Structure 1
Amino acid sequence: MQVVETFGRTVESWSSQRPERARKLLRTGWEAQNLKNRFKPDKRLQPADRQLACIMMDAMLAPLQTPEQSAMVSVFTPCEMLQEVGLNPYNVEAFSCYLSGSQAERAFLQQAENTGISETLCSYHKTFLGAAQKGLLPKPRCIVYTNLTCDANLVTFRTLSQLYHVPAFAIDVPMQQNQDNVDYVAAQLRALAAFLQEHTDKAIDEESLKVRLRRSKRTLEKYRAYQQKRADRYVPTDLVTPLYCGMTNNILLGTEQVEAYVDELLKDADKAPAAKGKRIYWMHTIPFWSDAVKEDLLFQEGAQIVGCELSEVAEPDFDPEQPFEAMAHRMVYHALNGSASRRIEAGIRHAKQVKADGVVWFDHWGCKHTLGAAQLAKKKFEEAGLPLLILDGDGCDRSHGGEGQTSTRLGAFLEMLNEPGRTEEGAQG
């Protein structure tokens, strides 16, 4: 850990005076980690999840290695068309997670706040903005984002477009679920195809796009089948793999690598032993850096995270033969779009699918969508037979504090789940 701390401090320090040198150090460090993932992986992970660590590291390195072939995107932007024109997703939330994992986020958070960005803005967005302002992050080819579920997107991507002087395309997703709104978003996606063709000089072939959407649909269906299968299996997991799945099932959806990954997941589930310990379903982001959460949930047989909301927000009920309508349907009917009740109902379905014993609703600082729905979620989940812990914290900013409270509350929640008479209660709902 001392090596990581030194690495993070050096990246932060150099970004103030010599940002290009800091960027080279960041790239070199991440490339070294990528080699480690390939040749000396964490053997506690299942084979598929070792493969996933490489997929995600490749995705993070791509914008540093070939920024001119990258597009900055919000986490729920459909990226199949970007793949068609050879653009890699340069994602705010994922990149900030990796900066935090490198212990290099603090200086960038402070930089953003020093330039007038609100303290209450999501820390993932502040970290990315601060790193961009300091010159650590290279200039992308373009920016594509949506207003879907996260109001921080409207501030972040407009600011980035002005900072880098690159073209930006915003996708407006209405909150109501109906065919008119699907048609409205599909029309925007057709305009996005023209935008991407204009700025890359590469045409988007609709037949090729259909092939990608078929792959996206298969991937989501297979992932759901895996979640059903793992409900009766013990699959050791860390705290980042569930977040990685939030990326693979969103910004990397449609790629051959991700479909191959879920195929391996299904094989791993077939070989896994019978379920053991308490099964926790996690709503929203995970503070993977937290020692308190690690103590209770990192590769623990007694309790493990068996599902994360962010990996299951897109439903596979779309028609890939109409690719623009398919992507639009995925956005309009997205589990986080619309009322909080839709999100809660989806969370209950998915938690029951994996036979969760309990649920953690993580109130990530700065996420109004999550903070505002917490009490309603607690009521609805518990009415459905699923005990729910509301846990306050920050998924990206490790200086947020509250470790003592996290340890006490999470520990007490797990103890409660282990009380006699609760063994099957959560699973049966």
Structure 2
Amino acid sequence: MDPVTLLGSWVDRAAVDDPARARGLLCLAYSAVALKGRLTGGRGVVAAQDRCNGVIASGVVGSLRHPEASCVVNIFLPCELLHAAGVAPMIPEVVSVYVACTRCAEGFCERAEAAGVPESFCSYHKLMLGMEDAGVLGPPALVANTTLACDANQVSFRSMAEAAGAPHLVVDVPQGTSEEDVAYVADQLRDLAATLGDVLGAEVDEDRLREVCRRSRRTLEGMRRYCALRSRCSLPTTLTSELCLLVCTHVFLGTEAAEDFVADMVAAAEAAGAAEGAGGRGVPRVFWLHTLPNWQGAMGRIFDGGAEAELVGDDMACDSLDVLDALDPERPFDFMARRLVFSTSNGPAGRRVDAALARAREAGADGAVLFGHWGCKQTLGLAGVAEKAFDEAGIPLLVLSGDGCDPRNAPSGQMATRVGAFLESLSRTASGAADPGADGPAAGV
């Protein structure tokens, strides 16, 4: 048994009758990840990923050890408020990914199901509810989430707040994009700022908040620069590096770690572009839609480091770039609210698909993967719209069903076979385009 699987088995056993020990084992493991990040030097994608991963791991450890000083948030909540007030965010999607990588997700998901959570519920949220039920995750001081994109929010966050006896704030994001909609969301964020002061004694100083939002703006500008460079270079990206970009453009946005990571990725892209010009590695370039199963070894062996395919972007990490020019950090509540209202994850599916298609083209993608995460109703509805749009654009799309954290819903062999066949078809298509005498492109998968 490998060390990570062994650790996961220890956590599983401890969670049954000694939740404090299970929590301690997780904290020990993630503290090691944090230490590795602090000790990592050098440049390039892997070094930048390790540093960013270390900072995220440190945040997970903090929320596990001191939940009473944390605020549970969803991935879309603008956390500049928390960063300005010095409050640690506890993020179900992030905690669940770390637990999945520790090979102990299944037990917590089963525990949640035994407590009444539906089997078909989003695994990210189910896993965290299982950790709460086991006592491994302590009660937070505050729970706050948006209504954006994820329907599981409306159940899991309310349940966590009720179990903890904690206040629960919901930031309602309308699907319209009027100035009235922006003002409506901004007022709710002001209410959240006031609640942080009332519940945690963490007053949000507006000068400090503006400073954090300026950093957010610089980070997003760097992300836009990185996207523009991707078609002109090849990089050894990984499922984890793409997840780091997602975290840094959402819940970690406004932190120095997020700005540094995006700057490192821009520097890597600039260096690779200067060295390679428009040349590539000779493997298919794939743009990803939705979450990434970085815990899954079979997927890592295909995508990590450009082994069989190069990941050139993820649509969720780019969801607010189209509105960047209208974001004014000197008006911080408008800055955060406008980002939510104009997110490509808000509104009709066609809006998100059109934005993803534009990013895939910008990145020079040969094909795209839409990951249908278990329990995510949005990706179920998104699939048909995306298939039609990408087909009309001449970019092959694979709709891949799996799970971002629960191994019970991720048949590794089948997934690897489907992805392998898809990549082979992309390679044949590229060869056919390069050779006028070829029989033409292969049928899509």
SS at match of 1:305: strand
Q: Tell me how far 1:32 sits from its aligned partner.
A: 2.0
Deviations 1:147-187 (A, max 9, x none): 11101001001100011111121111111222111111111
**Match in the other structure for 2:161:** 161
**Match in the other structure for 1:337:** 346
Is this contact kept in 1: 2:145–2:157, CA < 8 A? Answer: yes
Is this contact kept in 2: 1:41–1:50, CA < 8 A? Answer: no
**Match in the other structure for 2:362:** 353
Is this contact kept in 2: 1:46–1:268, CA < 8 A? Answer: no
CA, structure 1 residues 101+423, in 2 after alignment: closer, same or farther (shift >3 Å)? farther
Q: Which moved more, 1:232-241 or 1:120-129?
A: 232-241
Deviations 1:382-408 (A, max 9, x none): 212211111111111112143232122
**Match in the other structure for 2:404:** 395
Equivalent of 1:421 in 410, 416, 432: 432
**Match in the other structure for 2:151:** 151
SS at match of 1:207: helix
Q: Provide the rounded CA distance (Å) in 2 between the counterparts of 1:189 and 1:49.
A: 31
Alignment of 1:207-222 (within 5 A): 207-222=207-222
Structure 1 residue runs of 5 or longer lacking an equivalent are none
Equivalent of 2:301 in 295, 302, 312: 295
In structure 1, what residue type is equivalent to 2:359? H
Is this contact kept in 2: 1:123–1:397, CA < 8 A? Answer: yes
CA, structure 1 residues 42+53, in 2 after alignment: closer, same or farther (shift >3 Å)? farther
Q: Tell me how far 1:413 sits from its aligned partner.
A: 0.9
Is this contact kept in 2: 1:249–1:311, CA < 8 A? Answer: yes
In structure 1, what residue type is equivalent to 2:290? H
SS at match of 1:46: helix
Q: Which moved more, 1:272-281 or 1:410-419?
A: 272-281
Is this contact kept in 2: 1:42–1:50, CA < 8 A? Answer: no
SS at match of 1:4: helix
**Match in the other structure for 1:80:** 80
Deviations 1:322-378 (A, max 9, x none): 111111111111111110001101101111121111100111111111011201101
Q: Tell me how far 1:258 sits from its aligned partner.
A: 1.3
**Match in the other structure for 1:140:** 140
Is this contact kept in 1: 2:216–2:254, CA < 8 A? Answer: yes
**Match in the other structure for 1:283:** 289
Structure 2 residue runs of 5 or longer lacking an equivalent are none
Q: Provide the rounded CA distance (Å) in 2 between the counterparts of 1:355 and 1:391.
A: 21
**Match in the other structure for 1:93:** 93
Is this contact kept in 1: 2:36–2:50, CA < 8 A? Answer: no
Alignment of 1:107-122 (within 5 A): 107-122=107-122
Alignment of 1:345-384 (within 5 A): 345-384=354-393
SS at match of 1:287: coil
**Match in the other structure for 2:328:** 319
Q: Provide the rounded CA distance (Å) in 2 between the counterparts of 1:33 and 1:46.
A: 14
In structure 2, what residue type is equivalent to 1:23? R
2:269 corresponds to 1:269: yes
Q: Tell me how far 1:45 sits from its aligned partner.
A: 4.4
2:310 corresponds to 1:304: yes
Deviations 1:201-231 (A, max 9, x none): 2322222212211211111111110122132
In structure 1, what residue type is equivalent to 2:120? T
Q: Provide the rounded CA distance (Å) in 2 between the counterparts of 1:254 and 1:11.
A: 33
**Match in the other structure for 1:34:** 34
Q: Provide the rounded CA distance (Å) in 2 between the counterparts of 1:307 and 1:24.
A: 35
Give the count of matched residue pairs.
426
Is this contact kept in 2: 1:181–1:332, CA < 8 A? Answer: yes
Q: Provide the rounded CA distance (Å) in 1 between the counterparts of 2:132 and 2:225.
A: 39
The percentage of counterpart residues that share the same residue type is 38
